[in-house]
C-alpha cells in the first residue's frame, strides 16, 4: 500500500519537460544530458532536442534528433585556422557558427517533428541551452509559453550574464577567450572592457537580429523579439564554479553548477583495464575532446607528438579517431576513451587536452595535472588559469615540437608542485554541501513548483548597458566638471580683463 501511494505521489509530482540543446557540440550534450537524465530519475518525462543520438533506452526519456549535423564539415573550424584567431575574431566566429547551425537545424526532420505537435500540446517547463542559436526561441511560443529555465555549458559568458542582469565585472573577471587572469594590468583591463562590450553589442545588434530574420521564415512574422523572450526566462543555470574558474559576483537568478556532468568513477573496459594495470610508470592521457579530432592534426605535428611520447617511461593512451601506424610501444590509441574513469584512476599522472571546460573540470575534480594545447575561445583562458595556479602548462599548437612537448610533459610529471596544487583544489571543490547536479535539479523543480523565479531578478535586468554601468552618471559628472572648469576659466579671464583695465598703466594713459 505504501509503495502504491509513493508511486501515485511521484506521478502527481512528475512533469512533462522539453529540453532544447541546439549547440552542435557533443561535449555540450554530455553536460545537458546529465541534467536531463537526473530530472528523469526524479520522475519527470523529458523530451530532449539534440544533435546527438541517444544510445540508451530510458523510460520516459525521449530524444528528437536534429539529424545530419555532425556529418557536415564546418570549414571555418579547422585546427589550423582556429589556432590563429584572436579574441575579437573569436567572437564573430562564435556567432557565425551559431547562424550556420540555425540554417541546418531549421531544415531538419527533427525540427519539423516539433512543429507538427498538436497546437494545444503543452509542456510544463522548457529548459533551453541559450549558449547559441536564438533562432529556436520561437519554439517557446509554439508550445504556449510555459516557464523557461535557461542553461549554458559555456562557463558564463558576459553576454549571457548581462541578459540576466548580472553586473559587468570587467576589471577582474577575464573575458573567456583571453589569456588574462583575474589580476590584470591596465592594458589587459582595457582590452577586457572592450571585448565584453563588443560581444554584448555584437550579439544584440548583429547576431540576434540575423537569427530573428531567419526564424521568421519558418515560424512566421508573428514571433516575439528575442530580447523579450530572454527577459522572460526564469533562471540561468551555468557551468561555472568559483573554484574551477575565477571568483565572480552572481545575481540571485544565476545558479552556478560547474562540473555537474562529473560522475562517480566506473570500472574500465577489459582492454583498457589491462593497459592501465601494466602501466608500471603511470599513465598519460591525450584527448582533444569530443569536437576536435586528433586525426585532423598535421602529419608534422603527429610525428612530433609521437616522438615525444616515445621518450617517456609512462604509458600513453591517445584518443585517435582513425587508424594510425608505427606507434611507439608505450602508446595505445582508441577511437573513444572513458576520460572521467581514467582520470579517476590512481595511475594517471597527466592529461594532455585541448582545454575544453568539461575536460579541465574533470581533471581538477580528480586532481590530475594538465597540459593544455588550446585552439578556440575559452580553451585559451582555461589553460592560462591552470598555468597561473601552477596546476599545469600551456603549449601552443604552433609551438609543438618533439623537444618542447617532451620538456613540458616531464616538467609537469616530475615536479610535485603541479600535482600538489591541483589535488588541493580537488579537495576544496569536493568539500561542498551539495553536488552541482543536485543544485541544478533543485532550481529546475523550484520553477516547476512556483511557475517563475522573477522575484530573484535584479532591477538591473530591466536596465540598458549604459544605465547598468552608470555611464550616463559618469558622463553627466564629467560634463559638470567640464562646465565648472569652463566657468572658472571664464570668471578668471573676466577678472584679469577687469584688473588690466583698472591698472595704473591704463590710468596713466
CA distance 498 to 509: 16
Lowest mean pLDDT, pick from 53-67, 106-120, 136-150, 316-330: 316-330
* Tens digit of each residue's pLDDT (9 = 90 or more) over 347-393: 999 999 988 889 999 999 999 999 999 887 788 888 888 998 999 99
- H-helix or E-strand containing 259? none
CA distance 28 to 31: 5
Structure-block grid coordinates of residue 384: 592560462
Query: What value, to the nearest 5°, has the Cα angle with vertex 368 and ends 365 and 374?
Result: 95
Whether 270-424 and 16-260+435-462 are alike in CATH topology: the answer is: yes
Residue that has been written with the C-alpha cell 590710468 in this structure: 507
Q: What 3-state DSSP class applies to 47?
A: strand
For the domain bounded by 16-260+435-462, which CATH number is listed?
3.40.50.2000
pLDDT band at 131 (very low <50, low <70, confident <90, very high): very high
Q: Is the pLDDT of residue 422 over 70?
A: yes
On the 0-12 / 13-18 / 19+ scale of CB atoms within 10 A, 1 is: exposed
CB under 8 Å to 54, separation ≥6 — which residues?
48, 61, 63
Query: What's the pLDDT at 239?
Result: 94
pLDDT band at 80 (very low <50, low <70, confident <90, very high): low
Structure-block grid coordinates of residue 61: 526519456
Q: Is the pLDDT of residue 79 over 70?
A: no
CA distance 117 to 408: 55
pLDDT band at 4 (very low <50, low <70, confident <90, very high): very low
* Tens digit of each residue's pLDDT (9 = 90 or more) over 484-498: 999 998 888 888 887
* Tens digit of each residue's pLDDT (9 = 90 or more) over 254-292: 999 999 999 899 999 999 999 999 888 999 999 987 777
CA distance 391 to 419: 7
Residue that has been written with the C-alpha cell 566566429 in this structure: 93
For strand 348-353 and strand 331-334, is the pairing parallel, antiparallel, or unpaired? unpaired
Query: What value, to the nearest 5°, has the Cα angle with vertex 354 and ends 348 and 356?
Result: 95
φ/ψ of residue 152, rounded to 5: -150, 130
Q: Is the pLDDT of residue 194 over 50?
A: yes
CA distance 142 to 414: 58
Contact 358, 261 (CB under 8 A): yes
- Per domain, the residue ranges of the chain are 16-260+435-462, 270-424, 465-493
CATH superfamily of 270-424: Glycogen Phosphorylase B; (3.40.50.2000)
Structure-block grid coordinates of residue 348: 594517471
CA distance 93 to 77: 9
pLDDT, mean of residues 162-187: 90
First-to-final CA distance of the chain: 119
CA distance 66 to 109: 7
Query: What's the pLDDT at 499?
Result: 74
Neighbours of 502 (CB within 10 A): 8
Residue that has been written with the C-alpha cell 570500472 in this structure: 267
Q: Is the pLDDT of residue 502 over 80?
A: no
CB under 8 Å to 329, separation ≥6 — which residues?
none
Where would I find the H helices in 339-415?
339-343, 357-366, 378-388, 402-414
Q: Is the pLDDT of residue 9 over 50?
A: no
CA distance 498 to 492: 10
Structure-block grid coordinates of residue 131: 549558449
CB under 8 Å to 368, separation ≥6 — which residues?
343, 348, 349, 350, 351, 422
How many whole angstroms from its chain centre is CA 354? 14
CB under 8 Å to 124, separation ≥6 — which residues?
15, 16, 17, 146, 147, 448
Strands, sheet with 348-353, edge to edge from the N-terminal-most edge strand? 331-334, 315-319, 283-287, 348-353, 370-372, 392-394
Structure-block grid coordinates of residue 349: 599522472
CA distance 18 to 244: 29
Amino acid at each position: 500500500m505504501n509503495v502504491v501511494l509513493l508511486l501515485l505521489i511521484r506521478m502527481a509530482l512528475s512533469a512533462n519537460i522539453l529540453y532544447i540543446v541546439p549547440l552542435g557540440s557533443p561535449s555540450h550534450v554530455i553536460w545537458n544530458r546529465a541534467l536531463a537524465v537526473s530530472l528523469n530519475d526524479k520522475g519527470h518525462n523529458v523530451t530532449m532536442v539534440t544533435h546527438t543520438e541517444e544510445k540508451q533506452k530510458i523510460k520516459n526519456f525521449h530524444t528528437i534528433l536534429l539529424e545530419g549535423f555532425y556529418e557536415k564539415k564546418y570549414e571555418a573550424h579547422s585546427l589550423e585556422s582556429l589556432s590563429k584567431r584572436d579574441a575579437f575574431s573569436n567572437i564573430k566566429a562564435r556567432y557565425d557558427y551559431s547562424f550556420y547551425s540555425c540554417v541546418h537545424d531549421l531544415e531538419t526532420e527533427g525540427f519539423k517533428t516539433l512543429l507538427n505537435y498538436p497546437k494545444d500540446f503543452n509542456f510544463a517547463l522548457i529548459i533551453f541551452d541559450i549558449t547559441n542559436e536564438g533562432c529556436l526561441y520561437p519554439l517557446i511560443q509554439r508550445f504556449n509559453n510555459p516557464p523557461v529555465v535557461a542553461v549554458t555549458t559555456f562557463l558564463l559568458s558576459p553576454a549571457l550574464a548581462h541578459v540576466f542582469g548580472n553586473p559587468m565585472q570587467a576589471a577582474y573577471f577575464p573575458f573567456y577567450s583571453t589569456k588574462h587572469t583575474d589580476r590584470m594590468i591596465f592594458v589587459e583591463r582595457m582590452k577586457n572592457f572592450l571585448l565584453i562590450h563588443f560581444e554584448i553589442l555584437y550579439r544584440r545588434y548583429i547576431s540576434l537580429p540575423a537569427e530573428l530574420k531567419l526564424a521568421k521564415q519558418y515560424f512566421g512574422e508573428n514571433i516575439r523579439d528575442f530580447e523579450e523572450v530572454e527577459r522572460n526566462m526564469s533562471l540561468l543555470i551555468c557551468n561555472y564554479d568559483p573554484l574551477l574558474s575565477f571568483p565572480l559576483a552572481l545575481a540571485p537568478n544565476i545558479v552556478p553548477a560547474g562540473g555537474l556532468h562529473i560522475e562517480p568513477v566506473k570500472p574500465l573496459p577489459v582492454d583498457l583495464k589491462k593497459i592501465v594495470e601494466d602501466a608500471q610508470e603511470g599513465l598519460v592521457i591525450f584527448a582533444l575532446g569530443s569536437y576536435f579530432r586528433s586525426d585532423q592534426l598535421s602529419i608534422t605535428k603527429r610525428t612530433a607528438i609521437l616522438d615525444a611520447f616515445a621518450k617517456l617511461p609512462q604509458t600513453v593512451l591517445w584518443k585517435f579517431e582513425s587508424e594510425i601506424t608505427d606507434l611507439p610501444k608505450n602508446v595505445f590509441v582508441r577511437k573513444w576513451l572513458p576520460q572521467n574513469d581514467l582520470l579517476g584512476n590512481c595511475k594517471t599522472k597527466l592529461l594532455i587536452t585541448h582545454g575544453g571546460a568539461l575536460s579541465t573540470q574533470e581533471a581538477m575534480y580528480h586532481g590530475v595535472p594538465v597540459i593544455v594545447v588550446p585552439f578556440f575561445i575559452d580553451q585559451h583562458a582555461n589553460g592560462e588559469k591552470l598555468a597561473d595556479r601552477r596546476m599545469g602548462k600551456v603549449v601552443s599548437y604552433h609551438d609543438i615540437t618533439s623537444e618542447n612537448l617532451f620538456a613540458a610533459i616531464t616538467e609537469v610529471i616530475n615536479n610535485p608542485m603541479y600535482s600538489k596544487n591541483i589535488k588541493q583544489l580537488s579537495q576544496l571543490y569536493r568539500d561542498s554541501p551539495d553536488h552541482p547536479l543536485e543544485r541544478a535539479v533543485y532550481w529546475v523543480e523550484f520553477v516547476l513548483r512556483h511557475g517563475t523565479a522573477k522575484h530573484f531578478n535584479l532591477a538591473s535586468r530591466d536596465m540598458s548597458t549604459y544605465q547598468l554601468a552608470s555611464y550616463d552618471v559618469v558622463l553627466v559628472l564629467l560634463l559638470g566638471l567640464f562646465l565648472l572648469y569652463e566657468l572658472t576659466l571664464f570668471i578668471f579671464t573676466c577678472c584679469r580683463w577687469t584688473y588690466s583695465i583698472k591698472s595704473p598703466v591704463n590710468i596713466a594713459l
